[in-house]
Amino acid sequence: MTIRLLLADDQELVRQALCALLALEDDFEVVASVGRGDEVVDAAREHRPDVALLDIEMPGLDGLSAAAVLAAQVPGCRVVMLTTFGRAGYLRRAMEAGAAGFVVKDAPADVLADAIRRVRAGERVVDPALAVATLAAGESPLTARERDVLVTARTGATIAEIASRLYLSEGTVRNYVSAAIAKTGARNRVEAVRIADERGWL
């Protein structure tokens, strides 16, 4: 009994390469391959894969959101997130989105193959080291607005720009930034953004 796979990765070359790699295994069959997050669900509905391999960074719809939609609308299709970054926040969000597995692209091929088979069998598969890091990073202490402000600040916007984009007064924005800096333990807006980003709080 072969395992039917859906492959989603925005990098054409990587996707084709993974396809070639997975084809080496006798029990895998890649039934669909897409390059955009918003094509995942349609493809899954059409081809009914057993397991969907989703990259996180994708145009249209990110892999995490795609996983959530998939879990809701295509029962029987389990999700393995396959991503470059073993960032703590990604893992947490992947779990919340209903993913059954999480593999980083640093891992060797047989880890991926193994993860796919185990997920298919109903298990949940996560790199233990990454799981620890995720627990260490903990839940986000940021309020929704603090998060918004940091997200907007990410591109290098000034306080004034953030304020106008979020329709807030400058003083309010400063307050949120200040709170975020305190909560992240940063000494800068810039550092606060970086830290929060790394922890997956954005």
Partner DNA sequence: CCGCGCCGCTGACAAATGTCATGGGTGGCC
Partner DNA sequence: GGCCACCCATGACATTTGTCAGCGGCGCGG
Alpha-carbon span 103 to 169, nearest angstrom = 43
Q: Give the footprint of a second copy on this chain (CB under 8 A).
A: 10-14, 16-21, 23-24, 82, 84, 103-109, 112, 155-158, 186-191, 193-194
Quickly count: other Cβ atoms within 10 Å of residue 131's Cβ: 15
Alpha-carbon span 173 to 132, nearest angstrom = 34
The residue (of 59 and 171) whose beta carbon lies closer to DNA is 171
Quickly count: other Cβ atoms within 10 Å of residue 104's Cβ: 19
- 52 token code pair: 């969907």
Q: Residues 133-152: x/- map of binding to DNA (CB under 7 A)?
A: ----------xxxx------
The residue (of 71 and 157) whose beta carbon lies closer to DNA is 157
The least CB distance from residue 179 to DNA, in Å, is: 8
Sign of the C-alpha dihedral computed for residues 14, 51, 132 and 183 taken in this order? positive
Strand 101-104: give its sheet, edge to edge.
28-34, 3-8, 51-54, 78-83, 101-104, 125-126
Q: Residues 14-43: x/- map of binding to DNA (CB under 7 A)?
A: ------------------------------
The residue (of 143 and 188) whose beta carbon lies closer to a second copy is 188
Q: Of these, 42, 135, 160, 165, which contacts DNA (CB under 7 A)?
A: 160
The least CB distance from residue 76 to a second copy, in Å, is: 26
The least CB distance from residue 52 to DNA, in Å, is: 33
The residue (of 81 and 162) whose beta carbon lies closer to DNA is 162
DSSP conformational letter for 122: T
Residue at 74: amino acid letter: V
Q: How far, rounded to the nearest angstrom, does the alpha carbon of residue 50 sit from its chain's CA centroid?
A: 20
Q: How far is CA 140 from CA 51, 147, 202, in A?
A: 30, 9, 9
The least CB distance from residue 97 to a second copy, in Å, is: 21
Under rule CB under 7 A, which residues in 171-200 are in contact with DNA?
Answer: 171-172, 174-175, 177-178, 181-182, 187-190
Q: Which residues bind DNA (CB under 7 A)?
A: 143-146, 158-160, 167-169, 171-172, 174-175, 177-178, 181-182, 187-190
